[in-house]
Amino acid sequence: MEQSNKKYFFDEPAFDLHDGGYVPLIVNNAPEMPLNIPPILKADRESKNDIYYTVTAKSGKSQILPGEKTQAWGYNANFLGKTIIFHRGQKNHITLKNDLPELTTFHWHGADVSGPYVDGGCHAPVYPGEIKHINFTLNQPAATLWLHAHPCPSTAEQVWQGLATMVIVQDEHESQLSIPRNYGVDDIPIILQDRHFHKDNQFDYRADYDPDGVAGPTAVINGTVNPYFDVTTQKIRLRFLNGANRREWRLHFSDDLPFDQIAGDCSLLPKPIKLTGLMLSCAERAEVIIDFSQYHEGDEVTLYTDQVPLLKFRIHNFAKDTTKIPDHLINLKKPSVEPSLPIRHVVMQGMDESVAIDDKKFAMERIDAEQIVGEYQYWDVTNSNEKPGMVHPFHIHGTRFLVLTRNGKDPYPNENGFKDTIGVNPGETVRILVKFDLPGIYMYHCHILEHEDGGMMAQIEIVDPKKPHQKYQLMDMNTLMNALAEERGIELSNLWMAGMESYEKMGMKM
């Protein structure tokens, strides 16, 4: 297994496949299908400086497997959603509509937007039939982000139902690089998820619930089971998003075909990194470029996770492409900061129901930390699990950070761009450099969705000392629970939400 350590960087004994509750992937007997390429969401209208979108959370039925259609949720779609494109510097006007039977939120994961309302965490509920309007301008580099539901503690269940879609930020710099960008042809979204299909091909989240993370035996890529993609260009760009609740993806190609990683969560990398394997913990993204020049029409190349096939690339005739990936992709100068910069210590603790941050489970109305807008801090993020333990993916809302060290050593070579989520090995401390550009309240948490619902989450308030202190209307658990019980037509005493058992078994209130 030494080769795997070198191949995937992370600690091999902590891989999820060693968990006692690990759910192995099994190739479904469904027929192979063309990879679903989510259509691009059309703007309601657009000008040079402004663009207007309507994003609707809705329910519907999708033909994922043969037989009965699967009841699911999505954004402007019956399952998952349409890809949303933002342009750096353009003002985005978003109409949020909830056509679901219960409240939800719209979290712009990886976007530098104000919290807590625009960011879309638990304090920004949109009730059934309700319409809300938000506005924001993104001043951040080109990147692959995503939108997903975040109504704590029902985030995991709503994402499992399908509320997740890709968001692409474009900018002038990236548009001038000689890399593929023809969406759907040589620039392909790859949303990596898994599901358990129950009777009549339906989801049953509660039946599958595991406080250490829900997983299913069937890989679902962009909502497609057993997908293939017809390759018509020599090079293609894949935008990987780990949109799973729990599963890690250890990606590699047949023939150990090498590829170049050009981007991470929130930016291009300074230079391309040549790899033959890539591990993504929950919520991480990576953009890679594959060159099929050694293959010919009729050949097939397969993308695997571990030894399980995920996606087949069917090679067709293509024109010779002599362009080269630039040796230098972007200037990301690390800011000059004082060695005496404040250090914030964040400890992710436990597994199963015992998960916590800094010895506390999440409370909606409690502010756990404070930082001044525009100022840098070192955050030392520790995974206190004893080895072999598990990798905890750590995410901060409303900002992007630079990874400085892992246990005092250099970060992995593909972590030198801006990130918003970082996998932390058991017994490891990762130092990141964090700055918030906008005042507000933001969450930080483990992105194993059942862990955040179970309390491995906290909140920080970013303050501007030059302005009067702003008071925020925060959601409280009683309001949330009563609303959900009413929407589901049940007594409050019969309400079940992911994470509730974690609090109850620890003798705590949500």
Report domain extents, the chain: 2-175, 187-315, 343-463
Euclidean distance between CA atoms 480 and 255, whole angstroms: 51
Residue 2 is predicted with a pLDDT of: 29
Residue 380 is predicted with a pLDDT of: 98
Residue 504 is predicted with a pLDDT of: 87
Flag whether pLDDT at 132 surpasses 80: yes
Strand (E) or helix (H) holding 206: helix 205-208
Residue 333 is predicted with a pLDDT of: 80
Residue 499 is predicted with a pLDDT of: 87
Domains 2-175 and 187-315 share a fold: yes
Contacts of 326 (CB under 8 A, 6+ apart): 177, 178, 179, 272
Query: For strand 33-34 and strand 70-75, is the pairing parallel, antiparallel, or unpaired?
Result: unpaired
Which pLDDT band holds residue 3 (cuts at 50, 70, 90)? Answer: very low
Residue 291 is predicted with a pLDDT of: 98
Residue 5 is predicted with a pLDDT of: 33
Euclidean distance between CA atoms 285 and 189, whole angstroms: 11
Residue type at position 250: R
Query: For strand 402-406 and strand 143-148, is the pairing parallel, antiparallel, or unpaired?
Result: unpaired
**Among the ranges given (3-7, 165-169, 376-380), the one the predictor scored with the smallest mean pLDDT:** 3-7
Residue 174 is predicted with a pLDDT of: 97
Q: What does the block give as tokens for 204? A: 């049953």
Flag whether pLDDT at 6 surpasses 80: no
Query: For strand 249-253 and strand 235-242, is the pairing parallel, antiparallel, or unpaired?
Result: unpaired
Euclidean distance between CA atoms 476 and 481, whole angstroms: 9
Distance of CA 249 to the CA centre of its chain: 13
Euclidean distance between CA atoms 440 and 471, whole angstroms: 9
Share of the chain above pLDDT 70, in %: 99
Flag whether pLDDT at 254 surpasses 90: yes
CATH code 2.60.40.420 for 187-315: yes
Q: What is the average pLDDT across 446-473?
A: 95
Euclidean distance between CA atoms 293 and 320, whole angstroms: 8
Residue 427 is predicted with a pLDDT of: 97
Q: What is the average pLDDT across 441-448?
A: 98
Q: Taking the CB of residue 66, how many other CB atoms lie within 10 A of it? A: 11
Task: Reply yes or no: is the peptide bond before residue 31 cis, omega within 30 of 0.
Answer: no
Flag whether pLDDT at 451 surpasses 80: yes
> Which of 166, 172, 152 has its CA nearest to residue 84?
166
Task: Reply yes or no: is the peptide bond before residue 153 cis, omega within 30 of 0.
Answer: yes
Residue-averaged pLDDT of the chain: 95
Q: What does the block give as tokens for 228? A: 């293939």
CATH code 2.60.40.420 for 2-175: yes
Flag whether pLDDT at 134 surpasses 80: yes
Flag whether pLDDT at 349 surpasses 80: yes
Strand (E) or helix (H) holding 485: helix 477-488
Q: What is the pLDDT of residues 178-194, one digit of tens each?
A: 999 999 999 999 999 99
Flag whether pLDDT at 4 surpasses 70: no
Q: What is the average pLDDT across 311-316?
A: 98
Euclidean distance between CA atoms 478 and 261, whole angstroms: 45
Q: DSSP code of 185? A: T
User: What is the CATH T-level fold of the domain 343-463, as seen in this structure?
Assistant: Immunoglobulin-like (2.60.40)
Residue 412 is predicted with a pLDDT of: 97
Contacts of 327 (CB under 8 A, 6+ apart): 271, 272
Euclidean distance between CA atoms 49 and 89, whole angstroms: 8
Residue 428 is predicted with a pLDDT of: 98
What DSSP line would sit under 33-91, residue for residue? EEPP-PPBPPPSEE-SSEEEEEEEEEEEEE--SSSSPEEEEEESSSSEE-BEEEETTPE
Residue 101 is predicted with a pLDDT of: 97
Q: What is the pLDDT of residues 196-236, one digit of tens each?
A: 999 999 999 999 999 999 999 999 999 999 999 999 999 99
